[in-house]
Amino acid sequence: MSTSAKEPRVITSVLVANRGEIARRVFRTARSLGLSTVAVYSTADADAPYVDEADAAVHLPGNAPGETYLRGELVIEAALRAGADAVHPGYGFLSENAGFAQAVIEAGLTWIGPPVDAISSMGSKIEAKKLMAAAGVPVLAELTPAEVSEADLPVLVKASAGGGGRGMRVVSRLADLPGEIEAASAEALSAFGDGTVFCERYLPAGRHVEVQILADQHGTIWAVGERECSIQRRHQKVVEEAPSPLVSRIPSMRPLLFDAARKAAAAISYVGAGTVEFLADEDGNFYFLEMNTRLQVEHPVTEETTGLDLVELQIAVADGLKLSDEPPPTVGHAIEVRLYAEDPHHDWQPQTGVLHKFAVDPSVRVDSGVEDGSIVSPYYDSMLAKVVAFGPDRTAVARRLAGVLERATIHGVGTNRDLLAWILRHPAFLAGETDTAFFATHGIGGAAGSAEMAALAAALADAAGRTGPVRVPSGWRNLASQPQRKSYRVGETTYDVEYRLTRDGLVVEGNIQLVESSPERVVLEIDGVRRVFEVAAYDGLVCVGSVNLIPVPRFVDPSEQVAAGSLVAPMPGTVIRVGVKVGEVVKQGQPLLWLEAMKMEHTIAAPVDGVVGELKVEAGQQVEVGAVLAVVGENA
């Protein structure tokens, strides 16, 4: 901390060195404490909600994190210019950067975070594991890449610096190890500026359990309950809950976990809020993974089950507060889901664009960085919101949260909303079977509602909105004639709709009756069951329930077509690697290029067997969505 127990300082104004949801979250508590707030924002974030909510805001020119939120000197300068006397780092970006914390302190500002030495100690996972082992905390043995043998497989290659799933690879074949180490090292270097990686034994179906720590400057260390975050994609958490179903099943595990977490904090003289993460097996054995020296994304589930405001306590501890001897008990159950702008059914591909409408039932907690009209840009993480439900019973909480998600209005970008609802209703989840192999075991469900019926509803709503002088809907015919035809694209699939509107009503194939239609609402009776479709049309997009449809024009501009075999960028991003040369023979599915966007690495693979005819990009180049990256022709 920047202050000591002997030299208390009173915080009056807080700059949040972050953006989006976490900036709004910290501002909310700061305002309740009577503190003034300062935001920093990139050019892309100029119109973001958190900027307007701050009492003062300072522009960081540029868009990419390396130009803006990762420029510690600019953030500190902003704090001084705006009159802030404290800096809260949030999570991500500079939150676990010991150099930044030291610079904040040297600038005469209060650092709302742990001591610099504690951050530094946990900054290297390799060194952290050695420290924890010495403190008596269970650890998985570290393996140097040269030591790995067939008997050790599978192993996990991990970046020593950073987290969030970056620089991590699971290796099941010894022959794949060198290539995966190279790839993990390159990704770690790009993400964290440090390409150091190591290996450890991989538990394919482990449980990710973590303990919330809060420590003051007077030697008191709280273990504030545990969370389970086992359901993950790309080693990044999707669903988090407190308490852990595994620990609740093995009650003797909880005191051992808490003791290990307190030992970890004491070993580095920790102060402030932090999280000690463990990998556990079904028998309750657990091993230290890492310590996050910051507030976690999933902190709301701990707040909901304890009644604490962890941000308020962070500020109070920075002000010199002495904690009571014991934390409050955990009561009830809380579940948080991360609502991402992404397509789970296409390799979790992030989605960008205008979020036309965003509304979630206020009966649950919604920590969000977006609102109606927000732009989901390619520069940052694709998380839109954290949706959290709390109650006395885990099953009831899961079902209520699933219903809230299903009824949410989210127009403009595709999300993982339906996947999240599917998880919460899955029998395995309700039974507490939530290991890290959840998706590998159960697949990726939760596809959006019937795209065919959504396309039909979109076409009928469009027809209802196109009336002539006598208010007759478009496509109506007094006598039977050719059907009206419309096409809509959902993802990579095109749905063709045919219908007739006659004096007898809607005529389509199948047992479907049109009950009513308007531009915003279509009611159909399908096989004797009446169903309502809410429709919202925007420029180039029609949203029907949770289905996003792109109208396909009948006539395509030839200049907008690309050559056969072209590989196009699925999103804006940066080309970080090119793995082939012009003239090289490639196989279908072979990785050709790697694109980095929205904190994720995406592989662009050959669509067919063939020869690389053209390479349009090189490493380091920025590309826009739809840009042609390469062309693969057929073998001669």
The residues assigned a catalytic role are 294
Both tokens of 83, joined, read 């009159």
Secondary structure string (H, E, C) spanning 303-368: HHHHCCCHHHHHHHHHCCCCCCCCCCCCCCEEEEEEEECEEHHHCCEECCEEECEEECCCCCEEEE
Cα angle for residues 607, 612, 614 (degrees, 5° grid):
110
Sheet of 13-16, strands arranged across = 56-59, 36-41, 13-16, 86-88, 110-111
Give the H/E segment covering residue 589.
Answer: none
Q: Which amino acid is at 181?
A: I
User: Could you give the CA distance from residue 199 to residue 143 in angstroms, rounded to a whole number?
Assistant: 5
Residue whose structure tokens are 């009950």: 515
Cα dist. 390→15, 209, 387 in Å? 30, 19, 10
- 102, amino acid identity: Q
Q: How many CA atoms lie within 13 A of 78 on its CB side?
A: 25
Q: Which of 106, 237, 224 is closest to 163 using CA atoms?
A: 237
Q: How many residues does the chain have?
A: 636
Q: What CA–CA distance (Å, rounded) separates 47 from 143?
A: 47
Check residue 91 and report its DSSP letter: S
d(CA 181, CA 377): 30
State how far the Cα of 399 lies from the Cα of 186, in Å rounded to an integer. 42
**Single-letter amino acid code for the residue at 435:** D
Nearest to 218 by CA among 253, 270, 161: 270
What is the full DSSP assignment across 425-440? Answer: H-HHHHTT---TTHHH
Q: Are strands 36-41 and 56-59 parallel, antiparallel or unpaired?
A: parallel
Task: Taking the CA atoms of 572, 578, 583 and 587 in sequence, report the sign of the dihedral they define.
Answer: negative
